[in-house]
Structures are given as C-alpha cells and as structure tokens.
Amino acid sequence: MTLRKIVTLPDPVLRKKARPISKFDKDLQTLIDDMVDTMRDAPGVGLAAPQVGIPERLIVVEYADQPDVIEGAKPKEVKPKLYVMINPEIVKTSEETVMGVEGCLSIPGLVGEVERYSKIQVKGLNRHGKPMKVKAEDWLARIFQHEIDHINGIVFPDRATKVWKPEPEEEEDMV
C-alpha cells in the first residue's frame, strides 16, 4: 500500500463534483487500500477520493461507537468498523439535526461548528460493486455527511456557523 498525499484548500479538486465510478478494476482496489492506509496514518475517521486528488465518488469511513459506560464497570474496547462506499448517496434523513464541531484533513488548523442530520440512511456500492445500505446515527452519521459533501465539492466551512483555530487542548478532544 501507498500513502497518498492529502490535498488541501485551495486545490480545485476539492470544489468539483466528483464523477461516478463504473469500473471495479485492480486500480480501484489499489486506490481503496491506499485511501484506508492514508486515512489511518493521518489519522482520520473518513476520507473521500477528492482529498487525495482523485475526482471520483468514493469514500472510506472508519469509526467505533463507544458504548455507554456504567459507573464502576470496566470500559469495553470497541473495534472500529471500516466502511468503503462507492457512489454513495443519502436516501433518508431524520428531521432532527444536531450541532457538532468538525475538522478536516484537507483544512488543517481549523475547526467549525456544523449542523448535521442526527440520523441518515446511505446507499451505494461496496468495493466489489455490490449494493449496500448503511443506517448511521450520531457521529457516524456526521462522518458520512462530511465525506459525501467532499464528493459534491463542499467543505465543512461552507456549512459552518462558526470557524476557528482550536487551542491545543481542544484538538485533543476532536474526533
């Protein structure tokens, strides 16, 4: 696997609507593997192909929902789940939205407060071209919305009510 360079603003690829993927060949599988390695190395919880300079509709997301810890109980280690989704689209949203602080590997040094749907349903294709659906809520829903924005040429400051440079201790608390 190869670590890919993460492009940053003002690179124009981040502002273009990415093209759908129709070829599920060896090059696509290599891109997927490289994106997963790049996301993990960054480290991040999601990455869209335009963020590595490829204007295609591909996202990778890796996140583990932390269970509620009962006082006095030992926290259980939760393994993150990896999602690879090609040509993703949000097909259902909750009416409820929630504000949250987001950062982005393509916009280092800035964070913003962004309102997102609290629950979504996403459909797309897996890495082998088979249909898949994901029901996501809370932070997982936020990550999917953020990455799908990337393939539509939207970056988080476009949706943010407020953007700022975080203090070092704030960055430690970021997702």
Domain boundaries along the sequence of the chain: 12-172
Helix H or strand E segment including 123: strand 119-125
List the structure tokens of 53: 């300079």
CA distance 66 to 134: 18
Q: What is the pTM of this model?
A: 0.91
List the structure tokens of 126: 């897996």
Mean pLDDT, contiguous 10-residue spans, the chain (175 residues): 95 98 98 98 97 98 76 71 98 98 97 98 98 98 98 98 87 52
List the structure tokens of 39: 């996301």
What are the residues whose beta carbons fall under 8 Å from the beta carbon of 81, sequence distance 6 or more? Answer: 62, 63, 64
Residue tagged 């994901």 (tokens): 134
CA distance 79 to 57: 26
Q: For the domain 12-172, what is the CATH superfamily, name and number? A: Peptide deformylase (3.90.45.10)
List the structure tokens of 50: 């335009």
* Cα separation values, 155 from 9, 11, 33, 67, 151, Å: 9, 12, 23, 30, 9
List the structure tokens of 174: 């970021």
| Contact call for residues 111 and 138 (beta carbons, < 8 A) | no
Report, as residue numbers or ranges, the catalytic residues. 147
Q: How confident is the model at residue 175, as a pLDDT?
A: 47
Q: How confident is the model at residue 65, as a pLDDT?
A: 76
| Contact call for residues 35 and 111 (beta carbons, < 8 A) | no
* Cα separation values, 158 from 33, 51, 72, 96, 167, Å: 29, 16, 43, 20, 22
Q: How confident is the model at residue 77, as a pLDDT?
A: 74
| Contact call for residues 87 and 129 (beta carbons, < 8 A) | no
